[in-house]
Amino acid sequence: MEIIAAYGTAMMILAVIFGLYMTWGIGANDLANAMGTSVGAGAVSVKQAIFIAMIFEFLGAVLAGGHVTETIRKEIIDPTGIINNPEILVYGMLASLLASAVWLMIASAKGWPVSTTHSIIGALIGFALVGIGPDAVKWSKVGSVVMSWIVSPVVGGTISFLLVMSTRKLIFNTDEPLKNAKKYAPGYIFLVGFVISLVTLFKGLTHLHLKLTTLESFAAATVFGLITATIGWSFIRKVKDDPRANKSFSYASVEKVFTPMMLFTACSMAFAHGSNDVANGIGPLAAIYSIVSSGGQVMQSSALPLWILLLGGGGIVLGLITLGYRVMLTVGKKITELTPSRGFCAELAAATTVVIASRTGLPVSTTHILVGAVLGVGLARGIGALDLRVVLNIVISWLVTLPAGALMAMLFFFTLKGIFG
């Protein structure tokens, strides 16, 4: 307690700096990867992607990002062993923030799409092992996280594979592809609106204390889906057959139908990402704030002040603007060649998987799911359509994320303990 009384302000300043650094890393890596498919498919430019992301990421974070984050528990570590030494938890949270941020920074510079969720979990485990003891780690929960790594990309890939096959059967491999594209497009757009509003209702609005039953959620999502489909239809109706463009690429006019559809999925990915991943960066910051402001009490959950959410949203947008283009390139261009229809299938599949996962309560990563979905799109065109070297690099970077976060957190924990202790 004495240490917190003496150094509380310094700890808070460090927490804000590290928190900003961490959310900057999330923007440069995680959000860039959520927007990468839209950019890679040519549906939006990098500038437009940044603009969309700024608005919807921010909305997702502030509206659905959690007014009471179960920050400290995060279900990964149990802090009861250090209730009488709250400063240990502060060092641990600071070390975890810094370790995750540094790893995200390295990954972004290399253009690897790694998972923020997993880097922060790795860092928390590393701190708990050396700061509290191996018993403080909830190993069963860690097991389910590792399972989600394997399951979620497979689910995302399967859904995107099926979606690509459905667009082929209903639209591309028919006598009148453009006519059929216009006919079935509202159905696909309905799915986007439906799925995204479900993500929001299932995942986000609990923080706003809107407890809807499953039936009410489905009803609200259906209404929202119909509204989205109507708006989408007004755009798609205007697409004309362009014989000149069709000469260079036989489905050019059909792909134009999917371009406005990708705008919907891009907004929805940014919103879902904001509601899901901002907490990774600001969770530990909120924990430190709650300990310092209460004079050293370790509470199981802490109210989240609005300024922390705003700081998180701001940091993320900054990261996307400064470094995001590298990861956008990997996801959007290097794994497999994307067109608007393929990019649309990948994003819709990813969003759907996030909904399913948030219902089962598995801590999944938007990154893994989206990369899995892009792989599914590539597989639908045959294994030759994938750049397997890029895929291998991505998988290796995923495997390294947890131990990298853990080792750096251990190092930073002892450094901070040395400085303050």
Tell me the per-residue pLDDT of 34-46, one tens digit each, with 9 for 90 and over: 777 788 777 788 8
Q: How many CA atoms lie within 13 A of 350 on its CB side?
A: 34
Domain residue limits at 397: 2-420
For residue 67, pLDDT beyond 60: no
Q: Are 369 and 339 in contact (CB under 8 A)?
A: no
pLDDT tens across 207-239, in order? 566 677 888 889 999 999 999 899 888 888 877
Per cent of the chain over pLDDT 90 is: 21
pLDDT at 30: 74
pLDDT tens across 157-186, in order? 999 999 999 999 999 888 888 889 888 989
pLDDT tens across 246-294, in order? 555 667 778 888 888 888 788 877 877 777 677 777 778 888 888 888 8
pLDDT at 206: 55
pLDDT at 219: 92
pLDDT at 400: 92
Question: CA-CA distance, 348 to 118, in Å (whole number)?
Answer: 23
Residue type, 421: G
For residue 412, pLDDT beyond 80: yes
Question: CA-CA distance, 362 to 212, in Å (whole number)?
Answer: 20
Number of structural domains (the chain) is 1
pLDDT at 129: 95
291-293-296-302 Cα dihedral, nearest 10 degrees:
-40
pLDDT at 156: 92
pLDDT at 26: 84
Neighbours of 299 (CB within 10 A): 14
Q: Are 337 and 298 in contact (CB under 8 A)?
A: no
Average pLDDT, the chain: 82
Rounded to an integer, the average pLDDT of 382-408 is: 86
383-384-389-390 Cα dihedral, nearest 10 degrees:
-80
Question: CA-CA distance, 118 to 150, in Å (whole number)?
Answer: 13
Question: CA-CA distance, 128 to 83, in Å (whole number)?
Answer: 14
pLDDT tens across 102-135, in order? 998 898 888 787 888 888 889 999 999 999 999 9
Give the CA distances from residue 10 to residues 18, 100, 289, 416, in Å, rounded to whole numbers and listed in that order: 12, 21, 12, 12
- pLDDT-derived band at 196, boundaries 50, 70, 90: confident
pLDDT at 7: 81
Rounded to an integer, the average pLDDT of 328-353 is: 80
pLDDT at 303: 65
Highest mean pLDDT among 185-194, 242-251, 325-334: 185-194
Could you tell me which of 65, 46, 68, 48 has the C-alpha nearest to residue 57?
65
